């Protein structure tokens, strides 16, 4: 079937559906919801059998849904209506929540139900629930709904009309404002989680209005509302019964109105007393001759300092008498490459980009050159751009089933990319395969990545199952009878690769191109980064997504 994804953005859920529906054999095209005329034009060009709206912020135009089945993915249980479904589920401490695929009609979220799937709620941010539970449930429900289309058209199946509940409006700032004198830690965390990644909880720190993100409980007490200190890059504030650590802030109406580590967004907080950082993003553990290096950076973004700290931790791991090192990344993201927000905030974004890419490269080189252990990247979450190539620096790459990779850079203003991708990708895919993947600029699902050889294994779909499988396999790898032989082979291969073309040559060629991206006449990268960081709405759909806008595209007329 031809399926048109009509969406506000090509976000994580839309990408996952794109991947799964393509895998199921459907023909996909994407149109961003820019205005009604553009939507109508897309429908006329693509002539889809079905329009699917995974992430919309406005209703679908009436003359579209009246002529064509349009299914909306609503991140709420059956009967729930409104734009802040997940925010409200968190605020109201629901135990179970769900996803409903319903048919678009005049009244928002009130059409008949095509499929639904529920899940137990977890204490996590809205974004984390969206990227995990909501996405998994949506994949199941959407595949079920799409499979029903033929029967629906033949009159053999009808969607279910359910009793309509009143529409619940967008959550307003006042509804989740924190009353520091009264709110306990659990309720502060719930409020911030309900607005994380966006829009954050509106508050004020040291007299400055700001939005709060990335909060966790911190074991301290003080006068409720008091700023108790700083820990790592965050600020610790007392609640009615304890304290919270706030990792990230956004200060609207300032020259840097985007999300940043709290201490950077609010330099005045440097005067606060220093407290221990209890939950550092980098953590190392060891068991059965395997070292596990976790690096859970907010949003998977790895700035220059984060890369340097991770390199230090990696070198320490490398010096341990282990046989295998597993790069665990974070729970939601493995890595998304350079930290574009920190780059945007720097006095010279070009210089900071240069520093950041060199720090990424230093880290990748250390992994590639490791000859004392076998190395594995274990991707619990998605990886994009440089973060995807960081994963490929290891000897083996294992991904959780359902992980989506974006192993390309071009979407960020035609960035050439580094991280030794010109060495790492062709050694897996050959030169042609590497070129094709880089030019394709599309998300790659775990199944396709495995088929192509971008990754080596695809393990359990759930986080706990994946972690368990990774530990079993890593331990087996460490104690395998051929461990020494494999290590020897690895050293041999590296030596012959180095003789054929030194790593330094790959790096300098890549960086020469990056230097042009950062300092050259073509400012595409700087423009794309600004738009990304400032979340500028799209004004067109990129060609690689909108197949129906390709030159020569003609929708078949026989159906």
Is residue 91 a contact point for ligand COA (CB under 6 A)? no
Closer residue to ligand COA, CB minimum distance, 338 or 487: 338
Q: Give the x/- contact pattern for ligand COA in 373-402, rule: CB under 6 A.
A: ---------x-xxx----------------
State which of positions 163-222 bind ligand COA (CB under 6 A).
Answer: 197-198
Which of 187, 176, 57, 200 lies closest to 126 in space, CA to CA?
A: 200
Q: Determine the straight-line distance between the first and last CA of the chain, rounded to whole angstroms.
A: 10
Q: According to CB under 6 A, which one of 98, 111, 337, 445 is a site residue for ligand COA?
A: 337
In the complex, the smallest distance separating the C-beta of residue 204 from ligand COA, rounded to whole angstroms, is 20
Q: According to CB under 6 A, which one of 339, 352, 361, 395 is a site residue for ligand COA?
A: 339
Burial of 7 (0-12, 13-18, 19+ CB in 10 A): buried
In the complex, the smallest distance separating the C-beta of residue 131 from ligand COA, rounded to whole angstroms, is 7
Q: For 486, what's the count of Cα atoms within 13 Å in the CB-facing half-sphere?
A: 15
Taking CB under 6 A as the binding criterion, the range among 60-68, 409-417, 426-434, 539-547 that sits at the site for ligand COA is: 409-417
Q: In the beta sheet, which residues pair with residue 510?
A: none
With CB under 6 A as the rule, give the number of residues binding ligand COA. Answer: 24
In the complex, the smallest distance separating the C-beta of residue 243 from ligand COA, rounded to whole angstroms, is 23
Is residue 261 a contact point for ligand COA (CB under 6 A)? no
In the complex, the smallest distance separating the C-beta of residue 6 from ligand COA, rounded to whole angstroms, is 16
Is residue 406 a contact point for ligand COA (CB under 6 A)? yes
Taking CB under 6 A as the binding criterion, the range among 116-124, 224-232, 403-411, 470-478 that sits at the site for ligand COA is: 403-411
Closer residue to ligand COA, CB minimum distance, 138 or 412: 412
Cα–Cα distance measured from residue 160 to residue 508, given in angstroms and rounded to the nearest whole number: 60
Is residue 299 a contact point for ligand COA (CB under 6 A)? yes
Cα–Cα distance measured from residue 457 to residue 477, given in angstroms and rounded to the nearest whole number: 14
Is residue 445 a contact point for ligand COA (CB under 6 A)? no
Q: According to CB under 6 A, which one of 259, 355, 473, 547 is a site residue for ligand COA?
A: 259
Asked if 72 and 53 touch (Cβ cutoff 8 Å), the reply is yes
Q: How many CB atoms lie within 10 A of CB 479?
A: 13
Cα–Cα distance measured from residue 432 to residue 438, given in angstroms and rounded to the nearest whole number: 10
In order of 19, 31, 244, 265, 544, the CA distances from 39 in angstroms are 22, 7, 45, 39, 17
In the complex, the smallest distance separating the C-beta of residue 330 from ligand COA, rounded to whole angstroms, is 11
Q: Which two tokens stand for residue 403?
A: 């992980």
Name the phi and psi angles at 54, rounded to 5: -75, -25
DSSP annotation of 134? I
Cα–Cα distance measured from residue 341 to residue 533, given in angstroms and rounded to the nearest whole number: 6
Closer residue to ligand COA, CB minimum distance, 71 or 340: 340
Q: According to CB under 6 A, which one of 1, 11, 180, 208 is a site residue for ligand COA?
A: 11
In the complex, the smallest distance separating the C-beta of residue 395 from ligand COA, rounded to whole angstroms, is 22
Contact residues for 332 (Cβ-Cβ < 8 A; gap 6+): 127, 128, 131, 132, 296, 300, 380, 381, 382
Is residue 12 a contact point for ligand COA (CB under 6 A)? yes
In the complex, the smallest distance separating the C-beta of residue 197 from ligand COA, rounded to whole angstroms, is 3
Residues at the contact surface with ligand COA, assessed by CB under 6 A: 11-12, 127, 197-198, 259, 299-301, 336-341, 382, 384-386, 406, 409, 411-412, 415
């Amino acid at each position: 079937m031809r399926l048109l994804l009509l969406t506000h953005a090509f976000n994580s859920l839309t990408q996952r559906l794109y991947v799964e529906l393509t895998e199921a054999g459907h023909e996909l095209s994407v149109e961003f919801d820019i205005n009604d005329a553009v939507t109508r034009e897309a429908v006329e060009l693509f002539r889809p059998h079905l329009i699917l709206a995974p992430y919309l912020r406005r209703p679908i135009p009436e003359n579209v849904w009246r002529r064509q089945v349009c299914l909306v993915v609503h991140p709420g249980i059956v009967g729930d209506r409104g734009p802040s479904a997940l925010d409200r589920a968190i605020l109201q401490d629901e135990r179970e929540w769900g996803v409903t695929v319903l048919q678009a009609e005049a009244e928002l979220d009130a059409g008949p139900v095509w499929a639904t799937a529920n899940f137990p709620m977890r204490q996590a941010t809205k974004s984390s629930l969206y990227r995990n539970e909501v996405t998994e449930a949506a994949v199941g429900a959407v595949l079920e709904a799409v499979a029903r289309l033929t029967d629906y058209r033949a009159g053999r199946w009808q969607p279910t009309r359910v009793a309509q509940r009143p529409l619940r409006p967008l959550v307003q700032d006042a509804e989740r404002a924190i009353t520091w004198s009264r709110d306990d830690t659990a309720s502060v965390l719930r409020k911030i989680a309900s607005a994380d990644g966006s829009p954050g909880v509106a508050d004020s720190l040291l007299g400055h209005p700001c939005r709060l993100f990335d909060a966790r409980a911190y074991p301290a007490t003080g006068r409720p509302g008091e700023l108790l200190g700083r820990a790592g890059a965050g600020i610790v504030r007392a609640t009615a019964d304890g304290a919270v650590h706030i990792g990230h802030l956004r200060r609207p109406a300032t020259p840097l109105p985007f999300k940043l580590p709290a201490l950077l967004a609010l330099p005045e907080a440097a005067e606060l007393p220093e407290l221990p950082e209890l939950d550092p993003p980098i953590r190392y553990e060891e068991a059965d001759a395997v070292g596990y290096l976790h690096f859970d950076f907010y949003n998977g973004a790895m700035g220059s300092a984060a890369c340097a700290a991770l390199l230090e931790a990696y070198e320490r791991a490398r010096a341990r008498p282990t046989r295998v090192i597993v790069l665990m990344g974070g729970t939601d993201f493995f890595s998304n490459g350079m930290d574009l927000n920190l780059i945007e905030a720097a006095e010279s974004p070009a210089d900071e980009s240069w520093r950041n890419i060199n720090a990424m490269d230093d880290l990748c080189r250390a992994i590639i050159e490791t000859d004392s252990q076998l190395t594995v990247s274990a991707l619990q979450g998605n990886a994009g751009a440089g973060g995807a190539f960081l994963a490929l620096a290891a000897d083996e790459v294992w991904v959780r089933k359902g992980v989506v990779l974006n192993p390309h850079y071009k979407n960020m203003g035609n960035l050439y990319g580094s991280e030794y991708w010109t060495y790492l990708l062709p050694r897996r895919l050959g030169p042609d395969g590497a070129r094709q993947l880089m030019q394709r600029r599309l998300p790659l699902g775990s199944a396709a990545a495995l088929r192509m050889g971008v990754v080596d294994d695809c393990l359990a779909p759930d986080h706990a199952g994946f972690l368990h499988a990774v530990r079993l396999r890593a331990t087996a790898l460490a104690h395998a009878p051929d461990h020494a032989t494999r290590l020897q082979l690895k050293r041999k291969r590296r030596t012959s690769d180095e003789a054929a073309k030194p790593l330094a040559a790959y790096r300098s060629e890549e960086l020469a191109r990056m230097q042009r991206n950062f300092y050259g006449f073509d400012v595409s990268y700087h423009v794309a980064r600004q738009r990304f960081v400032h979340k500028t709405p799209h004004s067109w759909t990129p060609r690689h997504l909108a197949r129906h806008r390709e030159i020569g595209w003609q929708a078949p007329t026989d159906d």
